[in-house]
Each structure stands twice: as C-alpha cells, then as structure tokens.
Structure 1
Amino acid sequence: MAIELSYFTNQQQFEGLTFKNFKPFLLIINDQEFLAEKIIRLLPQKRLVLSGVWQNKKVIIKVFFDKQARQHFNRELIGYHLLEEKGIAIAPVFFANELSVKNVYAVIYLEFYPAKKISQLIENENEERAEFWLYQTQQVITKLHQVGLLQTDLHLNNFVLVGDDIYLLDYASIKQATDKKKQLENIALFYVQFPANLFHLIKKLFFEYCVLCQQSNDPLLEKSLFTRIQALSWQRGQAFQKKCLRTSTDFVASHSSTQLSVYRRSEEQQMLLAFIKDPEKMLHSLPTKILKAGNTSTVLQVMMDDKWYIVKRYNVKSWWHFFTHCWRKSRAIKSWCNANLLQLMNIPTAKPLAVIENKVLGLTTTSYVLMEFLSDEILLDRLLITVDQEIIQQVIKILNELAALQLAHGDLKANNFIIAQERAYLIDLDAMKHYRKASLWRRAFKKDILRFRKNWWLYPEILQAFNVIDKDRL
C-alpha cells in the first residue's frame, strides 16, 4: 500500500518541523516535485538541511524560513559565488530562489555520493592516515587563504571526501580577508578541532602551512598560534557544554519546573525514555547491583534490554545540603558535559547516554547520569597483578591529552581508570574542570598528578613508570 505524502505549502509547516515528527514530504519547486527524505541538520524555526530527490537526482536542499531568511539565503549565495570565482571545489547548484511558499528561500545542491566527512575519517583511521587527511584538508584551507578567503565557521564536518578530492561545505560563512592575523586565527580554529591524540601534529602542519603561504615560521608566530589555540579550545569547550544541554542533531533536551533531561538521540529507545520519565521506579524494577553506596552519591549497575549500564545517582543527604546545592549546576550535569567533551576530543571515557535532574519548584533535588558499562576491572587491580606497560602508556597518553587541553580531573585516583578490552578509560568526571588560565590549570593538574602518584608509593616500579608524564607543561 502506497504511503500518501503531504505537500508543504506554508511557512508554518517548516517552523513546526522536528526530528521526532519528521515524515517524508513533497515540495513544488519550479513546477516539479521535490521529495524530502531525511533531515540532515535542523535549527528549529530558522533553517534546515534535507536530503531528497529532485529532477531524478539525489540532492541536498538548504531551506531558510525565519525572519532573516532572505539575509541568510543571500549570504549562502555570496559565499558560493566567491568560491566558484576562485576555483575552490564545491557542489554544483541546481536551484537558488524563493519558493512558492512565501518568505521561504532554498538552495539545491548536488548530493555527493559516496561522501565521507573528514571528521569521521580521522576518527576511524590510524594516526598515519589521519595525518594524511588533515594535511589534505589544510591544503584546501591554505588555498582559501592564498586567494583571500576565509571560512569563519570552520569545522571538520564542513569538509567531505568525494573520490580523491576534498570538497568544502557551508558557504554562508565564507568571507573575504587577506589580513595575516585573521588567517592565523582561522588556521588556529582548524587546529583546535583536532582530537587530543593528534595535537602533536600541529607544529608540523603549521610549518607546512607557513611554507605554502610564504610566511616565516618564527618562534613568536608559533607562540602566538598556540596561545590562540588554547583560548579557542576553552571557548569551544564552553560552547559545546552548552550544546550538550539543548536539543540539537545529537541531543534531545526537555526542561520543566519538575525535571531537566537530556539524552543522546542515537540511543533513543523505549526503555531509556521510561528511565528518564521515572528513574527511581526503573531502578527498583530492573536488575540492579549497587557498586558504591555513599551519602552524596550512589553508583549502580543496571540491566536494560539485556544490556548492562551504569547509573550514578547524586543524593540529597540533608536539608542543609539541599539548600546549599539546589541552585547550582548539579554534579550529574557536570559529569554529563565533561564526558561529552572528552568524547568530542576522542579521549577514552564511558559513553554518556542521558542525564536527569529532578526539581521542586525549579530547584534541583536528586540527579542522575546514565553511562555505558565498560568493565568492573580498575587500573589499581590490573597493575598490582602485573606491571602492564601497554596499559601504563595508555594512561600516560590520557593524562598528556588532558594537559594539552588544560583539563584537570579533580579526583585522579587509580580506581577512576577502568580497563576494558585491554584499553584504559577515564571515568568519574563530575569534578573535572576546563581551565582558561594556564597558571590555574597548572596548580590543579599538579594536584591531580600528586593524588595519582599516592596510589603507587608502595610500588616503586609502577611509580617510576608514571614519571614520564609530560613535565614540560608543568
């Protein structure tokens, strides 16, 4: 039985679109039907990107429908024409105009297929291949700078590999600029998006950038670059942590006077939604093991849909505790945001799935964070059995990556490292902090390292192995 598709004929239909209520629909464009098949990106009540079919071709359509729709549409076209004029590889445009739906504008591009985002390539490939793709992407950015252009909203998802060529996406943020300071800021914006394990490539890539742009790579320029990278890293971290608490392509958020909840869209399932609705009821009805029962927090291992998860519940231990904490950001929210930040930077941690704050009159009471279950083997147990050099090197790598980002854990005990499938993971992130000032970070990170080494004072061989943590940063 054929499914009857609805036609979009007014602006309100676009404004009401969400990921949850989306169904394929039809649009009339130049007297021909466009079939919208999937939402790729959505800024609620502003604009969206869809994949679909038009004139028997697989296409991408960008639709602008808020009060500034025409302005955003014009920026997209201006950027496109600047790139086309300078010979930068971009997708062909098939249509660009106001739709028959009044005050709604659209641009239709050819959909590249197959296409792989550079962000996915560097995440899934080994370090040598990741370096190759970053170098190739930098070549595109360098070419932009050489012809006096910048992509001001530069991020790795805006570059896709099609065949052997890297194509640039998102043309609304293309600006004309020949100023060397602005170009340095722009290349720093590129470097700050590297996963933490690839930060060490920046010096090499920047040297190659300077050669191509005919700039002298002197120590002062390099120092200026890294100062800017640290500032941008902090800004990016703050922006991302805010993103973790609102509805977006990756997350679904709900805010009310009685509850705040956020979960990963990719993990949406009936059991998860039931847990979010009433976590205590689910904890009492599901198979559960108590791993830690403290006054301020309880850690539980919970089975949902034949799979184990970890729930950390942050308790209210007294009225005084409630009054001094109810107005602050909860530890569950801090843990959720920090875990997502580490995931973004490709630093091994348990995948965060959902966070819940229960509220009374808008004030936080108990809160919960739900994570994947990795293993019950902790670092302390592993190293007391055998001085595993591979695991030690992984832990050192994690600590050096935290240092590169100016992150301090805040409670760096050996049992906050989990060993799963011969890989080390950092957990218990509710005290972790991202520092803007290097001096404050150094003080906090030194405390972290001192606390970590206390675990090994009775074990000289292990203590000696951890002495190679990057001292240059301290």
Structure 2
Amino acid sequence: MALDALTLASTLQTAGRHPALPFRVALADGRQLEMLRLFRVLPGKRLVGEAELAGNRVLAKLFIGRRSEQRWRQERAGLEALVFAGLPTPALVAAMPMAGGGHALLTDFLDPAESLAECWSRVAGRTAADDETLSLLAPAFTLVGRLHAAGLVQDDLHLANFLRHNGRLLVIDGDAVRVVSQPQAMPMADACANLAVLLAQLPVEWEDRWAALLPAYRAGAGEVSPDLPALRSQVARVRAWRLRDFLAKTVRDCTLFAVEQSFTRFSAVLRQDAEVLAPLLDAPDCAISAGLTLKDGGTCTVSRVLVGDRMLLIKRYNLKGVSHALGRLWRPSRAWHSWQEGHRLQFLGIPTPAPLALIEERCGPLRRRAWLVCEYCPGPNLLMHLSPDQVPPAEEARAMLNLFESMHRQRISHGDLKATNLLWDAGRILLIDLDAVVQHRLPGAHTRAWRRDRARLLRNWPAASILRHWLDDHLPAA
C-alpha cells in the first residue's frame, strides 16, 4: 500500500488523546505496523499500545513529537542497559524510524500481565503487617537493588513500571533508566535517594515495616545497608514533592485531569469521568434543580443527583450580595479549595468522598460562583450514628482513631470538626465539608489548630457523657 494511505506522524501529532483505531504506520524497513489498542497517549508526543507486526503481537511505543528521536534513543539505550545488566525486561523486537516521520520501538507483548500498581491497588487497604502485601512488594525492592548494583537508576520509579508475567517481575520503561556507574554499583547516596522514591509511595504507616523490606533490597544490591535517618529524610522530601506535583496536576490538563479554561469559565474533571459528566458540567444549575436539594443556604446550595447509576453530590457556592461578591473576586473559590484539599486527603489515604469535578465562573482573573461535584456518601453522620451513653463499637472506634491519627501525623486540621462532618460508611469514617481544611507546615500552627478541632469535636456531646470521656482519653493530645 502506498505511504500516503497510511497514518503519518504529523497526523498523529494533531489527533489529540483519541486517535481513530485501528491505524497503520509504515516502518523504515518497509513493514507495516497496525495499532490495535492504546494504553497511554501523550498528545503530540507519544503513543503506547498493543499492535501487530507481521502477524505477531507487540507492545508499540510511537514517538511522534519534535524531540522524537532523542526520546526514542533514550528508551532504546535504557532497555539495552537493562539487558546488559541481566535484569528482566520485555525483549526488544524492533527499534527504527517510521517512514512517515517519528520513531517506533517495539517489544514483546506479554499476556497475561499486570502492573505491580494494579496488584497493589487490590491490597493497599490492608495493614502494614500483612504478609501477603509484603510478599507482593519484596520482589520490586530486590529488582531495585539489582538496578543499583549494576550502576543503574530508574528516574521514574513507581509501581506501574514493574510488570508481573508468568510469576516473574520485570522492569519496564527504558526511557527512565539512566546509567550512573555501570558496571560498578551506584554510590550509596545516589542509591538511597532513588530507593526513597519507591518508599515514599507506600502509606506512612509502612515506615514501621521498612525493616522487613530492606532485606529484599539487600538481596539484590548486596550486603549494603542504607542509612535509615538519611533514608527517612529523603522519603519525607520525596513525599512532599509528589504531593505538590499531584495537586498541581488537579488544575491543569494532563493524563489524569481534563481542564478547560476560557475568559468566563474554568473547569477541571477527572478524565476518566469527563464523558459521563459532560452534560452536568455544561449545565450544573439544571442538574441541581433536577436533583434532591439537601441544603439551600445563602452561601451554599447542595443537591443530590443521579448520573447514570451513580449518586453524586453537587455543591454550589453562592454569592450573597455585592460586598460578598467583591470579597471573593480575587481569591480562589471555596470550591477550588475543597477540590484541592479533597485530592490532598485522597492522596494521603485519608477517607473523603472522591472529588470528581470543579467549575468556576470567571471574568478574566476574577472569580464568581463555583460548583464542586463529589461522590455521594449515604452513610449517617456520627452525631446520628453514635450514642453518647456508651463507648463506640469496636469497628467505629478503630476507624475514628485511624482517621484522627492519620490527620495528626500529616498535620492536617479541619477547621469545623462537627460530628455532622464525619460520615460512617462501610467500615470507614469519611471527612466532608473541606472548605477550611489546612495542612500545616509548622508544628506550632498545627498544634493550635488541632486544639481547636479537638475541642469542637468534643462539644458535640454532653460534657458528662461516656462517649465524650472516651474520645477525650483516646484522641491525640491537645
């Protein structure tokens, strides 16, 4: 078939996030690659998916951007470094330019296979003492040790860059593999910094289980032992960076979030929900009117709506009058703050209804009304659910203490810790009404805020009640 009947890199560059499938490209050696399914798209830069070449299934990475050759060479060099070091990685099938521009890198298509991130998502809620969870993570730490022993570093070290296939764990994403000192082992300072990137992605309570994970790392790296105080310091820095990076993504167009901005409007929505929520985002007030109104106050209107088979909550932040509107013009809306804090809590593993979308009315840089869309939680609030005349049942007690210990550890204050802002749902207590949530940088500021939160929570129940005395005894100290 003639080249002009095939898809060119220039066409793919302008195809956005959803190029029409299937499509075919010509390789420099005359063969044709048919792309069947896409796993990841970086618009105008790179496409990754399942493809067919000469009757064989392959994983294809197509580099189509302005720097395609540089990124293609980097990917190929990373895979070659892994092979040279004897580390398990999918076999390279072909790496060459495409006839119509851009570059292709093809590896074996492993089926069935799943990323370690997918495996982790099924067990992440378990305690750090769970042996099955530990055995799931240990092979990844051994592979990281082998990387470091070979003088290699994975600059994009996360669980999705490990692939499980036929009982083996493989390293993928050669683009992020960098040679530091191959074939000699990496300096311990560099190895410690890279290991911290992986440890930072585990829940904070896993710090007590590092002693069980580090032997797995040493099994690959040799009898070296990272300095634990230095490792803890590195992990804290990485956690802070990852959180800042994630929160920045919640308000810009990226793989996870679809963001649109004009002179009169700003909207952000989880990309996976963008299509189903599109009618609601186009007319949020119509959705509020059609739903069940739960609150209709001067500053806030709350409605429960059904979208498909999902029950959602829409919160509209109103403007009471001219003075109120003028006071809100230059500040991020309360919806914006709640959107970011909801994602902060979820990132830190603190239960809260999932924030799905944010809308702000704007006039250039000036902000007016705003809407927040979240998952709806049907559970009762703690004022209704708990009896003041008895200690909380064991499951509720455990959930309550886990919530407040997590918030205390992360220096997070709520600002209005009424029992009605704590919902009991399927063994968890969810935090809602996040308008005043703050993660404090300074311990002293958090201590003062927690003292206020703690006192506000206790005031929900009579001073002489059994429940209040139990809380006073078990909550983190003021």
TM-score (norm 2): 0.88
SS at match of 1:172: helix
Partner of 2:153: 150
Pair 301,95 (structure 1): closer, same or farther in 2 beyond 3 Å:
same
Q: Distance in 1 between matches of 2:13 and 2:335?
A: 33
Pair 227,442 (structure 1): closer, same or farther in 2 beyond 3 Å:
farther
Q: Distance in 2 between matches of 1:302 and 1:468?
A: 38
Residue 309, structure 1, aligned to residue 312, structure 2: yes
Q: Distance in 1 between matches of 2:83 and 2:445?
A: 47
Partner of 1:3: none
Deviation of the 1:366 alpha carbon: 0.9
Q: Distance in 2 between matches of 1:289 and 1:263?
A: 23
Pair 207,32 (structure 1): closer, same or farther in 2 beyond 3 Å:
closer
What is the correspondence of 1:363-442 to structure 2 with a 5 Å cutoff?
363-384=366-387, 387-442=392-447
Partner of 1:352: 355
Contact 1:189 1:232 in 2 (8 A): yes
Deviation of the 1:465 alpha carbon: 4.7
Deviation of the 1:415 alpha carbon: 2.0
What is the correspondence of 1:124-143 to structure 2 with a 5 Å cutoff?
124-125=122-123, 126-127=126-127, 128=130, 129-143=132-146
Residue 42, structure 1, aligned to residue 48, structure 2: no
Residue by residue over 1:149-186, the C-alpha shift from the partner in whole angstroms, topping out at 9 and shown as x without a partner, is 11111111111211211111211121233121221111
* More divergent stretch after superposition (27-36 vs 350-359): 27-36
Which structure 1 segments of 5+ residues have no match?
A: 1-5
Residue by residue over 1:278-315, the C-alpha shift from the partner in whole angstroms, topping out at 9 and shown as x without a partner, is 2112222x13222x333332222223336431111112
Which structure 2 segments of 5+ residues have no match?
A: 181-185
Pair 37,382 (structure 1): closer, same or farther in 2 beyond 3 Å:
same
Contact 1:392 1:465 in 2 (8 A): no
Q: Distance in 1 between matches of 2:235 and 2:177?
A: 21
What is the correspondence of 1:131-280 to structure 2 with a 5 Å cutoff?
131-177=134-180, 178-196=186-204, 198-206=206-214, 209=217, 213-216=222-225, 221-270=227-276, 272-280=277-285
Amino acid of the structure 1 residue aligned with 2:293 = K
Q: Distance in 1 between matches of 2:154 and 2:336?
A: 33
Report the identity percentage. Answer: 24
SS at match of 1:300: strand
Q: Distance in 1 between matches of 2:187 and 2:32?
A: 45
Partner of 2:329: 326
Amino acid of the structure 1 residue aligned with 2:45 = K
Q: Match for 1:115 among 103, 113, 116?
A: 113
What is the correspondence of 1:65-80 to structure 2 with a 5 Å cutoff?
65-80=64-79
Q: Distance in 2 between matches of 1:450 and 1:84?
A: 60
Amino acid of the structure 1 residue aligned with 2:75 = E
Partner of 1:54: 53
Pair 34,184 (structure 1): closer, same or farther in 2 beyond 3 Å:
same
* More divergent stretch after superposition (166-175 vs 453-462): 453-462
Contact 1:288 1:303 in 2 (8 A): no
Name the count of aligned residue pairs. Answer: 460
Partner of 1:300: 303
Amino acid of the structure 2 residue aligned with 1:410 = G
Residue by residue over 1:409-447, the C-alpha shift from the partner in whole angstroms, topping out at 9 and shown as x without a partner, is 333332222112343222222333344455544544454
Runs of 4+ displaced beyond 6 Å: none
* More divergent stretch after superposition (246-255 vs 370-379): 246-255
Residue by residue over 1:289-348, the C-alpha shift from the partner in whole angstroms, topping out at 9 and shown as x without a partner, is 22x333332222223336431111112223333233222222212222232333344432
SS at match of 2:77: helix
Residue by residue over 1:75-96, the C-alpha shift from the partner in whole angstroms, topping out at 9 and shown as x without a partner, is 1111111111111110111111
Q: Distance in 1 between matches of 2:323 and 2:64?
A: 49
> What RMSD in Å do the two structures reach over aligned CA positions?
2.6
Partner of 2:63: 64
Pair 191,449 (structure 1): closer, same or farther in 2 beyond 3 Å:
farther
SS at match of 2:386: helix
SS at match of 1:347: coil
Deviation of the 1:449 alpha carbon: 3.5
Residue by residue over 1:9-44, the C-alpha shift from the partner in whole angstroms, topping out at 9 and shown as x without a partner, is 433212112234543211123433322122222222
Pair 176,32 (structure 1): closer, same or farther in 2 beyond 3 Å:
closer
Pair 95,84 (structure 1): closer, same or farther in 2 beyond 3 Å:
same
Amino acid of the structure 1 residue aligned with 2:21 = K
Contact 1:97 1:106 in 2 (8 A): yes
TM-score (norm 1): 0.88
Partner of 2:88: 89
Residue 448, structure 1, aligned to residue 448, structure 2: no
* More divergent stretch after superposition (312-321 vs 371-380): 312-321
Partner of 2:183: none
* More divergent stretch after superposition (341-350 vs 355-364): 341-350
* More divergent stretch after superposition (408-417 vs 134-143): 408-417
Amino acid of the structure 2 residue aligned with 1:182 = D
SS at match of 1:89: coil
Q: Distance in 2 between matches of 1:279 and 1:158?
A: 39
